[in-house]
Amino acid sequence: LQSFESKYLEAKQFFEDFLEDYLSSSPVIDETLKKSIVYSLLNGGKRFRPVLSIFVAEALGIPPKKVLPFAAAVEMIHTYSLIHDDLPCMDNDDFRRGKPTNHKVFGEDVALLAGDALLTQAFSIVAQNYQHMVLVQLLSEAAGWKGMIGGQIHDMLSKKKQLSLDELMKINENKTGALIVLAVVGTLEIAGVSENLKVPFYSFAKHLGNAFQLKDDLQDSERAIEPGTIPSLVGIPKTKEMLVEATRQAKNFLNKIDIKNGPLVDMIEANFNRID
Amino acid sequence: LQSFESKYLEAKQFFEDFLEDYLSSSPVIDETLKKSIVYSLLNGGKRFRPVLSIFVAEALGIPPKKVLPFAAAVEMIHTYSLIHDDLPCMDNDDFRRGKPTNHKVFGEDVALLAGDALLTQAFSIVAQNYQHMVLVQLLSEAAGWKGMIGGQIHDMLSKKKQLSLDELMKINENKTGALIVLAVVGTLEIAGVSENLKVPFYSFAKHLGNAFQLKDDLQDSERAIEPGTIPSLVGIPKTKEMLVEATRQAKNFLNKIDIKNGPLVDMIEANFNRID
């Protein structure tokens, strides 16, 4: 029996091979822009969202390769958001995952355009590979002013005031949850599942996104409790309880569609236990 | 007989009414983000691209209102590119069209996100209003690393070296021409025209885009001849000759499809004569 860890790494590699092929087969792009894009897109992230799409595809019985272009689109949007977030006018971060941030290596102007290009290319890869206009709709909503950007601006502007737990949860849902939910619901659309499967899968994704962000917050809080985060508002023990509950709920909704074990359940567990 | 000027203003107003309705009917967006978006999107630009789409729709005999959401998408992409271009890490411009630039009013962080949101929303409005996936493909290619962004990065990185006329023409084609061509070819797709109409319309758009940029360069050169532009390389008289030729070619391709007068021809003329 294959361990979950090796299954995860296999899916991750499957996705990264696709991404590298896609980038190397893309026709003429300016060399500097391409280097900047490759630097951030192929930088050894967890690939949580694409692996999630692959595992959902497997659970639905469709060939995982069918979701790769869509998964690449989601990862491009995730990557662009990190590049723009790191810019001096935003979080002004010099390092990400132990390496200098994109603008530190390529300059702010190139980093800005690399982010813009990745966001644009996410839609291009979807248009090249699917006929489902609903995917463009899901992608733009999850990434846009009602989704990820909405969460970012709200987060940014609210740094100065004390938010309620509900407000913080809502920001996390938009900032982080939207793309995790997108990875799942986009795969459902590609697979063409019936409406009655969509609801529990959506709830699973929402709770998983929630658990993912809570775990991130808890990991970060081991270094320092950042103001404006859930641990700073309700304390670490209560945040841990919330993580336990989100984890339980995510599993609960998989249970409802008779998924009681396998990679999706393991993924929820792995998030709960991860140390990174 | 209605003058071209009043026809242009009517089409512009028709488009701006649609844009305002769209923005005011959009559900909850963060107020600051919305103000920043509205500030740049409803700022009294020429609306050259949307008016072009409307006139092409009329020439093809389809209701112009059918192209409004697509025209809005193109204008959103145009607007986002201006906001990002004006940022301190890019051109660092304090004024645009006589008003403080977006980041001067709202801060760099909000301006960055407003640009990101506009780019994202361009795809959203297309997905909401059309079934043609080819529109997403055209939009992402025109805006992306092979189109507008490709032109911007090339332009930016080449500021330090002397480019040939061909290289400068290529940059203009990507930076400015791509969205003008997009306004035309997207309309052709919406109208569902036959392939034999697409070729001359495409060539018309290419030459018009070219003429538009040459006219901009000539207008700018009356204040000061900027390095890295066509007038600085070949001189003003030669640039004027190029404008005459692009104008002639644009009309020539309309002629081939029996468009010998009317708003599209007038638009080519008006670009040739504009003072702005």
Coil/strand/helix, residue B92:
coil
Nearest CA among A111, A166, A137 for reference residue B122: A137
pLDDT at residue A62, rounded to an integer: 97
Distances from the Cα of B206 to the Cαs of A224, B4, B210, in angstroms? 56, 22, 6
User: Which range is least confidently modeled, A28-32, A88-92, A109-113, B112-116?
Assistant: A28-32
- Burial class from Cβ neighbours inside 10 Å (0-12, 13-18, 19+) for residue B61 reads exposed
Exposed/middle/buried for B65, CB within 10 Å: 0-12, 13-18, 19+? exposed
Name the token pair of A215. 């775990």
The pLDDT value given to residue B28: 66
Please check whether residue A119 touches B, CB under 8 A: yes
Q: What is the pLDDT of residue B2?
A: 80
Q: CA-to-CA distance for B29 and B23, rounded, in angstroms?
A: 10
- Give the Cα separation of A253 and B214 in Å (integer): 60
User: How much is the pLDDT for B228?
Assistant: 83
Locate the DSSP E strands across A4-123: 95-96, 99-100
DSSP symbol at A27: -
Token pair belonging to A92: 């002004």
Q: What is the mean pLDDT of residues A90-110?
A: 96
ipTM of the complex: 0.96
Instruction: Give B34 to chain A, closest Cα distance, Å.
Output: 9
What are the C-alpha distances in Å from A271 to residues A32, A142, A176, A246?
36, 22, 14, 11
Over residues A47-71, the mean pLDDT reads 98
Q: Provide the pLDDT for residue B159.
A: 78
Among A21, A105, A28, which Cα is nearest to A65's? A21
Q: Summarize pLDDT for A110-169 with one digit per residue, the tens.
A: 999 999 999 999 999 999 999 999 999 999 999 999 999 999 999 888 877 788 999 999
What is the structure's pLDDT at A26?
A: 81
Tens-digit pLDDT string for chain B (276 aa): 689 999 999 999 999 999 999 999 887 678 999 999 999 999 879 999 999 999 999 999 999 999 999 999 999 999 999 999 999 999 999 999 999 999 999 999 999 999 999 999 999 999 999 999 999 999 999 999 999 999 999 988 887 778 899 999 999 999 999 999 999 999 999 999 999 999 999 999 999 999 999 999 999 998 888 888 899 999 999 999 999 999 999 999 999 999 999 999 999 999 999 877
The residue-averaged pLDDT of A17-25 equals: 95
Q: How far B8 CA sits from the closest chain A CA (Å)?
A: 31
Residue of B26, B137, B149 with shortest CB distance to A117 = B149
Query: Within 13 A of A274's CA, how many CA atoms are on the CB side?
Result: 23
CB contact at 8 A, A122 and A77 = yes
pLDDT at A44 over 90: no
B18 vs chain A: nearest CA distance in angstroms?
19
pTM: 0.96
* Average pLDDT rounded to a whole number, residues A162-183: 93
Residue A96: both structure tokens together = 């990400």
- Do residues B41 and B19 make contact, with C-beta atoms less than 8 angstroms apart? yes
Residues 6+ apart with CB under 8 A from B37: A145, B23, B29, B114, B117, B118
Of the two residues A275 and A195, the one the predictor is more confident about is: A195
Q: What CA–CA distance (Å, rounded) separates A91 from B82?
A: 23
Residues 15-54 of B with CB under 8 A from A: 26-30, 32-34, 37
State the burial class of residue A111 (Cβ atoms within 10 Å of its Cβ: 0-12, 13-18, 19+): buried
Nearest CB partner across the interface for B123, out of A29, A116, A123: A123
- pLDDT at A28 > cutoff 70: no
